[in-house]
Structure 1
Amino acid sequence: STTRKPVSQASIELVFDNSDGTLLGEYGAYAEISIRRKVTRDSQTTYYLNGTKCRRRDITDIFLGTGLGPRSYSIIEQGMISKLIESKPEDLRNFIEEAAGISKYKERRRETENRIRRTHENLARLTDLREELGRQLERLHRQAQAAEKYQEYKAQERQLKAQLSALRWQALNEQVGQREAVIGNQEVSFEALVAEQRNADASIERLRDGHHDLSERFNLVQGRFYSVGGDIARVEQSIQYGQQRLRQLQDDLREAERSRLET
């Protein structure tokens, strides 16, 4: 119908009556056998036996020897009789084997032969794998020996490093002893220098006290010097003034004498 919406899947189911026990094996106890096929839009097919998901192979195996297999003779289609009459001996034998139920056993034998062939192939692969594992084991054995040698060398290296560290420690200990002796001598020299410095500081302090006394005496003498200098300056100024006054009087006297002579 054009009005019906497309669906994402389709399924078909066939129900077979097995009340007479035609089917044997795992499903022989069921009175009905339900076979369903579901096809999705992405071409995925799923098969179900009595509602249980299964393989297509499982469905094919059920109908082997029942006449409902791929070469079914239970359902006679148009032209099938003439096809049987005109069929080749090989095709006719297939129909006879299907009717006699032999096809099921031949299929089982084919499957068994295929499994045996796959088993031989697996054994061959296992042989190759065993040889490869043998080579890997040999390589691992060599690596293990190399690792043991490496461990031995590492142990020797640690021992040599320990010995070297002990020798270095001994040498450093001797150097420390020598340095301590030098430091002791330098401490003695330092104490002597400190004593000399203290004596020098005492001498400097005495000289500083003497310098202070001399500075006071110098300041006193300098004060006297400046005082005497001031007195001398005042006397010199008085002398200079007296000399100027004397010259002025002498000039006045000469001027008076000249005036007297003129008169």
Structure 2
Amino acid sequence: SNIADAIRWAMGEQSIKLLRGKKSEDVIFSGTPKRSRSGFAEVSLYLNNEDQQADIDYTELVITRRLYRDGNTEYFINKNKTRLSDIQLLLAQANMGQRTYSVIGQGMVDHILVASPQERKEFFDEAAGVKQYQIKRQSAVNKLENSRDNLNQALVVIQEIEPRLRSLTRLAKRLERREEVEVQLRDLQKKYYGTLWKDLSEKLVIQQKNFGTIDKELGEAKKRHDELQSEFGKMEKEEPRGDIFAKMQADFQKLMNQKSILKERQFNVQRKIELASIKEKKAPAVPIPTIVAELEEISSLQDEILEMLNAGREAKDKIENVSL
């Protein structure tokens, strides 16, 4: 009876009660005083398949079932891991089953004699080879039920998403429109800054030419200043002429101060022009607002230089009048 139960267990029997046990671990060796208990139970059935009754390309079938103490069960066909349903289908194709006439265990004869019509039908189905189709049908039904459950879940998800679909569609269209507007904006920015850069470059060239003219006038003023300074030195050696000479001396000192300021301004303007020239060569890296500010500053400095030159001319005229 133990051998018959082992064969039925290897063939996939799931009822521990029919195997005369109370729990699945009862089939695992519990140990003796001389031998330790085993960690798993394993049964292998070697079946001859030379007539190819089972639909598999092997002349010998080795069906193995292994149960671990943690409850995990593994099934193998010729050492290849498989599912219980595959083993049941393979055995059904060979007209074998764990609860039919293929394996007669203890008390099975009496059970067959008093079996119900349904139980007797199972015997006839196995003998007629119908069992394999019943297994396939049940597998198809299970897959159909799973598909129906998945479809119901999909319908639930669709019902949840459908109210938001319209708003999401509008949002998607807006995002597409936004991309188009951004492309147009970038094109317009390129055109605008290109035109602005061209205008500023032309203004910079004009300012450089104006600076050359101012620099020339500044050189002439410096030359005249040196002449006046020489005349003033001669006048210092002569006898002072009262209040007129004192006023002239104050004007001269003022002119000297203006000269120092003018030289400093000239140096700063020259540096600004050089920096502007360098930045013009590196145009893509120079921000447009910075170039505009520098051009405005250069123009302002030119106005200051012109004012200083006019003041120098007035001082010169005064000194010449005093000399006369």
Task: Give the TM-score normalised by structure 1.
Answer: 0.57
SS at match of 2:225: helix
Question: Is 2:61 the partner of 1:23?
Answer: no
Offset at residue 120 of structure 1 (A): 6.5
Aligned equivalent of 2:199, options 138, 161, 167: 167
Structure 1 unpaired stretches of 5+ = 208-263
Q: Does 2:2 align with 1:2?
A: no
Distance 2:52 2:43 in 1: 23
CA displacement at 1:117 relative to structure 2: 5.3
Give the root-mean-square deviation of aligned CA atoms.
3.9
Residue in structure 1 matched with residue 44 of structure 2 by the alignment: 13
Q: Are 1:34 and 2:62 matched, yes or no? A: yes
Q: Is the 8 A contact 1:71 1:98 kept in 2?
A: no
The 5 A counterparts of 1:1-263 are 1-5=32-36, 8-19=39-50, 21=51, 23-27=53-57, 29-30=58-59, 32-116=60-144, 118=146, 125=154, 143-197=175-229, 203=234
The share of aligned pairs that are identical, in percent, is: 22
Secondary structure of the residue aligned to 1:26 is coil
Task: Check conservation: 2:55, 2:93, Cα contact below 8 A.
Answer: no
Point out the more displaced range, 44-53 or 78-87. Answer: 78-87
The higher radius of gyration belongs to: 1
- SS class of match (1:95): helix
**Cα gap change, 1:178/1:97 in structure 2, threshold over 3 Å: closer, same or farther?**
same
Q: 1:16 to 1:160 in 2, by over 3 A?
A: same
Instruction: Check 1:65–1:188 CA distance in 2 against 1; reply closer, same or farther (3 A cut).
Output: same
The secondary structure found in structure 1 opposite 2:43 is strand
> SS at 2:44's partner residue?
strand
Displacement of 1:194 after TM fit? 3.2
TM-score (norm 2): 0.48
The answer to whether the Cα contact below 8 Å between 1:66 and 1:98 also exists between their aligned partners in 2 is no
1:154-203 deviation line (CA, Å, top 9, x unaligned) = 111121122222233334444444344333322221232234445667x5
- Distance in 2 separating the partners of 1:80 and 1:180: 123
Gaps of 5+ in 2: 1-31, 238-324
Q: Distance in 1 between matches of 2:228 and 2:46?
A: 128
In 2, the alpha carbon distance for the partners of 1:180 and 1:5 equals 109
Higher RCO, Cα 8 Å, sep 6+: 2
Question: What is the CA distance between 1:25 and its match in structure 2?
Answer: 1.0
The 1:54/1:160 distance shift into structure 2, 3 A limit, reads same
Partner SS state of residue 92, structure 2: coil
SS, match of residue 46 in structure 1:
strand
* 3-state DSSP of counterpart to 1:73: coil
Deviation at 1:109, TM superposition (A): 2.3
